[in-house]
Amino acid sequence: MKKTILTGIRPTGRLHLGHYYGATKNWVALQDDYNSFFEIADVQALTDNFDNPDKVRTNVREIAIDLLAIGIDPEKSTIFIQSMIPEIAELTIFYSNLVTMARLYRNPTIKTEIAQKKALFGNEGESVTYGFVGYPISQAADITAFNGELVPVGEDQLPLLEQCREIVRKFNSIYGETFKEPEAYLSKTKRVKGLDGNEKMGKSLGNAIYLRDSEEEISKKVMSAVTDPNKIKKDDPANPDVCMVYYYHNLVENENVNTICEECKKGARGCVQCKKELIEKINNLLAPIKEKAKKYEENPELVDEILLEGTNHAREVAKETMKNVKKAIKIDYYK
């Protein structure tokens, strides 16, 4: 029997290089060996985008196109929409009794995301809702509704997975052995930094290169990437360790990365030349992905069909889980 993978992505924007290297490239590699579920987490996206439903709705299909374009194969894997599985919402309610408010506020992912909101939106960031603080609980329901055993995610998500494992332990200890504790599966690149040098490239942070960005957009973004501020003239020696351009040369596995490092340190490499080389590398990497996406952009009904079929399959699995859950909690009335 193949083990089950469950992981998700919020439809808050298209896929970027952070998702690709931090998570989704792995998803493609794992789908042959695992029973894979990929969730488009629209309910979770609404926790901090409840006032912008158009954004979430548009991005459901965009994310699906991105996933198909990087090689998620609907013949092997299930791609589904979270809000169409009401069993997840039901399970979230039962789990919410098992988590204290103090524990939620201590969750490092939640802490970081609240701090980022404050930095981006000032006082508006203070208005953190109950739904937002509670999203680790709904994420635990996402994973366990499908009996997810392995959860391939970026490093920023690890504390959420730990919280899920705690919920599973508590559920099992009170209601009897029902769920397995899921495990995280990290990529070789655990966390991809942003163009601005931020520790994380994020859709909500405005510092990302998207997989379907045009060549012009990529060029503009790379040209504005943060480099060593002490390098003023083209032949000044510089420190590649503080340069985002060097960082991305590494990320996209440029085979000349050692030469780039040496030349940069010696002052034998101008930033403009270095950026142009990176632009070419990224364009070559993304061209086949954009080509594959075109088929789905031109035929959105193909995407809808895949999503509907995936969601129907996922719902059947979640319904079975809920039967066991209700039995365990002794609320399986009038069967």
Least separation in angstroms between residue 259's CB and ligand ATP is 26
SS3 103: helix
- Note whether 209 and 227 are within 8 A (CB): no
**Interatomic CA distance for residues 153 and 186, integer angstroms:** 6
Amino acid, res. 231 = K
Nearer to ligand ATP, 45 or 279 (CB): 45
- Decide if residue 67 touches ligand ATP (CB under 6 A): no
- Decide if residue 19 touches ligand ATP (CB under 6 A): yes
Least separation in angstroms between residue 271's CB and ligand ATP is 23
Other C-beta atoms lying within 10 Å of the C-beta of residue 88? 27
- Decide if residue 244 touches ligand ATP (CB under 6 A): no
By CB under 6 A, how many residues form the interface with ligand ATP? 18
The DSSP secondary structure of 158-187, one letter per residue, reads HHHHHHHHHHHHHHHHHH-S--PPPEEE--
- Decide if residue 10 touches ligand ATP (CB under 6 A): yes
- Decide if residue 221 touches ligand ATP (CB under 6 A): no
Q: Which residues are 99's β-sheet partners? A: none
**Interatomic CA distance for residues 14 and 69, integer angstroms:** 12
Among 4, 6, 22, 281, binds ligand ATP (CB under 6 A): 22
Among 204, 254, 283, 324, binds ligand ATP (CB under 6 A): 204
Q: Which residues are 77's β-sheet partners? A: 36
Query: Phi and psi at residue 37, in whole multiples of 5°?
Result: -120, 125
Among 118, 170, 191, 265, binds ligand ATP (CB under 6 A): 191
Among 140, 201, 245, 328, binds ligand ATP (CB under 6 A): 201
Q: What is the DSSP letter of 24?
A: I
**Interatomic CA distance for residues 299 and 291, integer angstroms:** 13
**Interatomic CA distance for residues 188 and 82, integer angstroms:** 28
**Interatomic CA distance for residues 203 and 240, integer angstroms:** 25
Least separation in angstroms between residue 22's CB and ligand ATP is 2
- Decide if residue 148 touches ligand ATP (CB under 6 A): no
Nearer to ligand ATP, 208 or 325 (CB): 208
Nearer to ligand ATP, 48 or 228 (CB): 48
Least separation in angstroms between residue 296's CB and ligand ATP is 19
Nearer to ligand ATP, 178 or 204 (CB): 204
Binding site for ligand ATP (CB under 6 A): 9-10, 12, 18-19, 22-23, 153-154, 156-157, 191-192, 200-204
